[in-house]
Copies of this chain bind each other. A is one copy, B any other.
Amino acid sequence: MSLCLFPDTSILCIQVRKTGETAFPAADGTYFTLLQVRKERPMTAEYPNKPVSVDVLDTTLRDGAQAEGISFSVNDKFAVFEALADIGVRYVEAGNPGSNPKDREFFSTFIQTKDAGTRLCAFGSTKRKDKTCDEDAQIQSLLQSGTSTIVIFGKVWAMEVEEIIRATPDENIRMIADTISYFAVRGIEVIFDAEHYFEAAKSNREYAKACLLAAQNAGASCVCLCDTNGSTMPEDVAEYVAEVVALVDPDRCKVGIHCHNDSGVAVSNTLQAVLAGARHIQGTFNGIGERCGNANLATIIPNLQLKYGIHCVPEDRMDLLTPIARKIADIENMTLPGSAPYVGISAFAHKAGMHVDAIKKNTSTFEHVPPESVGNSRRFLVSEIAGKAAILELIRRIRPDIDKASPEVEQVLARVKQLEHDGYSFEGAEASQELLVCRELGIYRPFFDLERIAVNSEHPHIGPLSASSFIKIHVDGKTEVTAEEGDGPINAIDKALRKAMEVFYPELKKTRLSDYKVRVLNRHATASSVRVLIETTDGIRSWRTVGVSTDIISASYQALVDSLEYPLMTARLKKS
């Protein structure tokens, strides 16, 4: 038994000779058991105000929604909230409930169906100069959102007070104090976001500090310093944060930090702020946000928790970091860079032969933390597949007699690995995954044979529909030839395939497609591989299927076939 201490972390591994729930394999046939020890990292510099824990506020649904190309539906917002709640983020900031009907719907639905384990926050600005809070429609919509925490942003930069909101310095301080106390006296927690704090402090430090004190005295639980344009360098962040930490009353009010990545140092700025005494951090999973994005929580959380031993999320959920980051990227329809620290698919991938040798001798030579500690995996190990337990569970659902030593498990794993190499992703396509398992176990029998499907699309077109599709299939010796028109080729093949299948399987009439997503996988322009994800519903259940091809028609067809065969397969398994 040997001890492997990652020198830069508070993670301790004990090497053992047998596997188990919490053990992961080393190259030499032994196993590591991962112990995350709340041990102080040997800090070289002195940080007397370094906290033992920080509150995490994720603003993916608010600041993140400002990123180019991002748009969340109400359902997307629920899915992001649930993912963040799963990993145990304390606050989820989700936009301004008064700004549009979609946000209003989200906030009102949310209140009725969710508890406050992870707190939903509405976001808005200080009241208008010329209105009371009772008269101000924006303040009233925040109040009506019913959230137990509200984030209020306000001006603290004298130049902006004068030029942008055209108020006197005193008027602005009254706007801050009145707005915060309006909510605080009603028992609502208020976090104050001080916009452009660092510019503000550079040009008029006393005024900026006076605004923060007004916020604290009006009842804010946190004054959050925002580097709104992402200009500030880490050493300056540390200095200004330390000054504010000394200013506020720690029993009443935390200091927070909100960074943007325009200078590529948002992660570092956030860490420096925490070392200087900030106890509240804001950012977005995967760093999405306007311009160069917000501070990336998927990097900051493991840095704080594993490297500094500062608590951010429950310790036993740290291994959800990678799956949650990937799930959120999927909802955003964005491609998570392979190189993303901790959570990227390349983050623990080893290419150089020399490195592979070195890592077999001592994992800390080329890995700064064990990949398992953040739910990621090392890539050169043959046996290494993140979803092994999930696959086994999936197999067991169909064949409860199979255990992890059965050859079928390796066979299914090998097939999944091959398909993932080709660009498939079964994450979020559980119906296609089940069909794959059925095929590998020899249980699957096709529900139809395709002889030919053809689609034609013509521009300009006569009539409202641009595409037509021909299909010929065989089921149990019977043939069906039919056709359909559609709004575009995908719609045309969907309609033709259903029409033909429903002749033999009338139960499919109650199913319909409820979502269709396309993702381009690599860069060879229009000949890139595309992944098509389809969601289908029968009104009660819904299931998701996937297809991958260089040809969007072919990828869509694969996903469509799975979407129809899945309910048929499920029914057949129940009967047998």
Chain A residues close to B by CB (< 8 Å): 6-9, 43-45, 66-69, 73, 159-160, 163-164, 196, 199, 202-203, 228-236, 239, 261-265, 267-268, 271-272, 275, 287-293, 296, 299-300, 303, 307, 333-335, 337-342, 344, 346-352, 355, 357-358, 361-362, 364-369, 381, 427-428, 450, 452-460, 466-467, 486-491, 494, 512-520, 523, 525-528, 530, 534, 549-554, 556-557
Contact of B525 with A512 in the complex, beta carbons under 8 Å: yes
A232: which B residues are within 8 A, CB to CB? 8
In the complex, the answer to whether B467 meets A460 with C-beta atoms within 8 Å is: no
A291-B339 in contact (CB<8A): yes
With a CB–CB cut-off of 8 A, which chain B residues contact A296?
264
A357 CB to closest chain B CB, in angstroms? 8
Cross-interface CB contact of A551 among B272, B487, B494, B528, cutoff 8 Å: B487
Residue from A357, A518, A551, A557 with most neighbouring chain B CB atoms (10 Å): A551
B339 touches A67 (CB 8 A): yes
Are A459's CB and B557's CB within 8 A? Answer: yes
Decide: B466 and A523 in contact? CB cutoff 8 A. no
Q: 13 A-B residue contacts at CB 8 Å?
A: A9-B231, A164-B361, A231-B368, A263-B299, A264-B303, A290-B351, A292-B341, A293-B339, A453-B459, A457-B489, A467-B551, A515-B523, A516-B520
CA distance A423 to B337 in the complex (A): 20
**Which of B289, B494, B527 meets A487, CB within 8 Å?**
B527
Whether the pair A351, B66 counts as a contact (CB closer than 8 A) is yes
Which residues from B are CB-within-8-Å of A275? 235
Contact residues in B for A551 (Cβ distance below 8 Å): 457, 466-467, 487-489, 491
Does B487 contact A239, Cβ atoms closer than 8 Å?
no
Q: Establish whether residues B366 and A486, one from each chain, have CB atoms under 8 Å apart when the complex forms.
A: no
**Are A362 and B159 interface neighbours, CB within 8 A?**
yes
Q: What is the bound-complex CA distance between A340 and B339, given in angstroms?
A: 13
10 extra interface residue pairs, beta carbon distance < 8 Å, beyond A8-B233, A196-B365: A7-B202, A67-B346, A163-B361, A228-B365, A261-B339, A450-B459, A488-B527, A488-B549, A518-B518, A518-B520
A235: contacting residue among B45, B338, B553, CB under 8 A? B45
Candidates B45, B69, B452; contact of A460 at CB < 8 Å: B452
Bound complex: CA A159 to CA B551 (Å): 50
| Bound form: Cα–Cα A512–B358 in Å | 43
Q: A339-B292, A341-B263, A457-B454 are in contact. Are A268 and B234 (CB under 8 A)?
A: yes
Q: Of B202, B228, B261, B516, which one neighbours A525 at CB under 8 angstroms? A: B516
Query: A265 is contacted by which of B68, B199, B271 (Cβ under 8 Å)?
Result: B271
Given contacts A362-B163, A489-B457, A554-B488, contact A368 B262 (CB under 8 A): yes
A554 to B450, CA, bound (A): 27
A347 touching B291 in the complex, CB below 8 Å, given contacts A163-B362, A229-B366, A264-B341: yes
A530 touches B518 (CB 8 A): yes
Q: Which of B265, B455, B514 contacts A267 (CB 8 A)?
A: B265
Known: A160-B365, A268-B267, A523-B333. A454 touches B459 (CB 8 A): yes
Shortest Cβ gap from A236 to chain B (Å):
6
Is the CB–CB distance between B457 and A263 below 8 Å? no
- Which residues of chain B are within 8 angstroms of A233 by Cβ–Cβ distance? 8, 271, 303, 307
CB distance from A309 to the nearest CB of B (A): 13
Q: How far is the CB of A265 from chain B (nearest CB, A)?
A: 5
- Contact of B459 with A452 in the complex, beta carbons under 8 Å: yes
Q: Which residues of B contact A513 (CB under 8 A)?
A: 525-526
CA distance A215 to B516 in the complex (A): 48
Q: Are A494 and B366 CB-contacts (below 8 A) given A231-B8, A337-B337? A: no
A68 with B346: in contact, given A520-B516, A523-B73 (CB under 8 Å)?
yes
Contact B520 A526 (CB under 8 A): no
Report which of B234, B293, B554 forms a contact with A466, defined as CB distance below 8 A. B554
Query: Cβ of A364 and Cβ of B229 under 8 Å apart?
Result: yes
Residue of B nearest to A47 (CB): B235
List the B residue with the shortest CB-CB distance to A454: B458
> Which B residues are in CB contact (< 8 Å) with A67?
339, 346, 351
Contacts of A9 in B (CB 8 A): 231
A8-B232 Cα distance, complex, nearest whole Å: 7
User: Please, how many angstroms separate the alpha-carbon atoms of A495 and B506 in the complex?
Assistant: 41
Task: State the Cβ distance, A212 to closest chain B Cβ, in Å.
Answer: 19
* Docked CA distance A364–B163 (Å): 13
The docked-state distance in angstroms from the alpha carbon of A68 to that of B338 is 8
Residues of B within 8 A of A291 (CB): 339, 346-350, 366
User: By the criterion CB–CB under 8 Å, are A334 and B299 in contact?
Assistant: no
Q: Are A552 and B489 neighbours in the complex by a CB distance under 8 Å? A: yes
In the A-B complex, the 9 residue pairs with the smallest Cβ-Cβ separation, listed nearest first, are A488-B551, A513-B525, A231-B368, A268-B268, A264-B299, A264-B341, A8-B231, A518-B518, A264-B267
